Structure 1
Amino acid sequence: MNTAPKQTGDDESTLQPWQWQEATWRRLVGQVRAGKSLRPTVWPNGAQCAVALSFDSDHETNELRDGGKSIGRLAWGEFGSRVGVPRILKLLHQHDIKATFYVPAVTALLHEDEQRRVVAEGHEIGIHGWIHELNSVLPYEAERDLLFRSVDVLEKVTGVRPVGLRTPSWDFSPSTLQIEKELGLLYDSSLMADEDCYELMLHGEPTGIVELPVEWVRDDAVYFSMHRFNSLRPYTPPTDVFDIFKREFDGAYEDGGLFQLTMHPHVITPRSRFWIVSELIAYMKTKNVWFATHAEIAAYVKG
């Protein structure tokens, strides 16, 4: 049975937003909403704050996703596997903390040993699409096929079936949450309706799926991304990025909530930047925090 959400009718698509009927914008807003807050009254072992570190192992799919064939940009993605992930795993091992790696299926197939090592060292691997595709514009059938195949690939490569999704576009299509329900996922980490965990609602009904919200301000790529052929080349000094991340953590710690951070192996691990992660972890370890994978946090707040 096709359970894809109904799409907006052709008559409505010809109207400007200011011409929409109230039912139209209410339906659009109500597709996926934040439900009840899942911030616990206490974290494990009396911790003041939960820390969820994540690394999106996009690697070569950053170039492949749009049909790109630049050998230079493919090599930049390869840096993420060749240098980035080993550097990250070494640091996490030194501090004896766990993190979550979101891996496109194509990345997993290109770097199978990497994924097995990540899991063997106690970290979580989550779903991150097939080839880092722009899932938010896909029709239901295509998005469903890619996500189900991605789950199967990650399970085959690592021996562990993933329980969480971070969409490649940090966005949902009208079908994404329904597909997550069909997959039986525990959690999602793609949306931004809160700073703490909450339950996702689909057309006004609770889904039981936990959202671990992301935010662009807590993402390394927005500060360091550049493209040699674009006129705009954003760059933020690493000292400023460290200050932003630290202040975000301090706020979460003061609130007794969740500090979730998104990083990319090919972006954060150059020598002039990786100290950000090292010093931030060292600073957070001086506080009463719980370092955990996204799956561990989702299971805890849901329980």
Structure 2
Amino acid sequence: MQQALLHGFITFLRQCGLSRALCFSAALLAAVLQSQATIAETENPETPWNWSDEYVKSQVNQVRAGRNLNPDSWPGGAKVAVLLSYDVDNETVMGLRTGEISIGALSQGQYGHRVALPRVVKLMDENDIPATFFFPAWSLKIAPEQADLINASGQHEIAVHGWIHERNTALDAETEERLLRQAMDEIEAISGRRPVGYRAPSWNHSPDTLDIVRRMGFLYESSLMHDDRPYELLQDGEPTGMVELPVEWILDDAPLLNPLGNRYMNPRDVMQVWIDEFDKAWEEGTMFLLTMHPHVIGHRSRIVALEGLIAHIQAKGDVWFGTHEAAARYVRSQAGMD
């Protein structure tokens, strides 16, 4: 079947008057794709120890880190960049994305936008720190006043974090793209500006995610963990021109501050972890990117830890605070990507 389609495609190209070289290139591409499909069909997912070298490399190389984009210095000659980001999940992770509706859990979600987000934005504005707020579209649709609160100072960024915090890996490509386009349209309609940044729900990519993100023209991506520094994403070994601003679970409040989890830490202990991470980033002259969630960090005992971290960073000096968008545009310009 595949050979018949390939032969028909080449015949069509020749009938259109295209060169033999182009036909050969098309044939070569189709042959590679056919070879990859054949390999995938013969590899048993239950016995990875038997996988061929070619198959392992094809899986590993789907999305990888390319060139380091860390600049020699940050805006204003600063030694380190500090990017504070908030995933404003609220009700989407409290049952909506799974369909397991619980009144108690949803009340925690409302705390996120009713109490916690105002507390977080107030802290950012009092310290004149620009931040990036990643929204699942439904989180913003439920409480659209969040956009006005964030936009009031004119220094923050609103970016996209999916439609309803869906699991990308459970979706086919068509559905994943449809939901992301819906999310972009809704967030633009409510916030007044089309997002330029993407963070995948649950920080994971399906085999189709990067294709979709590139097709939609995003400026940057912020879901992966190949490095501590900004870098260019590779797809199947080829440079994409996409800036990755990497995340990390130890630089995320949710796993470490969940009182119902077995990894729970005292907020002041978490603050010390983050201080140590920042100090090393400062020493290396790189980037400190922290991911938080208003419904987590916005509680009183936890906001104290964030206040302590900010005070430490400000006392250290030689720091540039920026949104993810500003950081992505800066590293692109420094790397000659524009």
Instruction: Give the TM-score of the pair, scaled to structure 1.
Output: 0.94
Partners of 2:104 and 2:46 lie apart in 1 by 44
SS at match of 1:162: coil
Number of aligned residue pairs: 295
Determine the structure 2 residue equivalent to 1:38.
Answer: 69
Determine the structure 2 residue equivalent to 1:201.
Answer: 234
Determine the structure 2 residue equivalent to 1:265.
Answer: 294
CA displacement at 1:116 relative to structure 2? 2.6
CA displacement at 1:171 relative to structure 2? 1.1
Please say if residues 136 and 169 of structure 1, whose CA atoms lie closer than 8 Å, have aligned partners that are also in contact.
no
- Distance of aligned partners of 1:14 and 1:267 in 2 relative to their CA distance in 1, 3 Å threshold: closer
Determine the structure 2 residue equivalent to 1:143.
Answer: 176
Determine the structure 2 residue equivalent to 1:107.
Answer: 139
Determine the structure 2 residue equivalent to 1:300.
Answer: 330
Q: Superposed, which structure 2 residues align to 1:43-58 within 5 Å?
A: 43-58=74-89
Indicate yes or no: 2:56 matched with 1:25.
Answer: yes
The percent of aligned pairs where both chains have the same amino acid is 46
CA displacement at 1:80 relative to structure 2? 0.6
The letter of the residue matching 2:310 is: I
SS at match of 1:61: helix
Per-residue displacement from partner, 1:238-261 (whole Å, max 9, x unpaired)? 121010000000010000000000
Per-residue displacement from partner, 1:179-219 (whole Å, max 9, x unpaired)? 01111011011000000000011111111110000000000
SS at match of 1:273: helix
Q: Superposed, which structure 2 residues align to 1:231-250 within 5 Å?
A: 232-250=261-279
Partners of 2:304 and 2:111 lie apart in 1 by 17
The letter of the residue matching 2:76 is: N
CA displacement at 1:12 relative to structure 2? 2.1
CA displacement at 1:15 relative to structure 2? 5.5
Determine the structure 1 residue equivalent to 2:26.
Answer: none
Which structure has the larger Rg?
A: 2
Partners of 1:202 and 1:99 lie apart in 2 by 29
SS at match of 1:285: helix
Partners of 1:12 and 1:118 lie apart in 2 by 49
Task: Identify which of structures 1 and 2 has the higher relative contact order when contacts are C-alpha pairs closer than 8 Å and 6+ apart.
Answer: 1
Determine the structure 2 residue equivalent to 1:70.
Answer: 102
Partners of 2:328 and 2:44 lie apart in 1 by 38
The letter of the residue matching 1:190 is: S
Partners of 2:262 and 2:107 lie apart in 1 by 19
Structure ranking higher in helix proportion: 2
What CA RMSD, in Å, does the superposition of the two structures yield over aligned residues? Answer: 1.5
SS at match of 2:307: helix
Partners of 1:160 and 1:116 lie apart in 2 by 12
- Distance of aligned partners of 1:192 and 1:10 in 2 relative to their CA distance in 1, 3 Å threshold: same
Unpaired stretches in structure 2, ≥5 consecutive residues: 1-32, 334-338
Unpaired stretches in structure 1, ≥5 consecutive residues: none
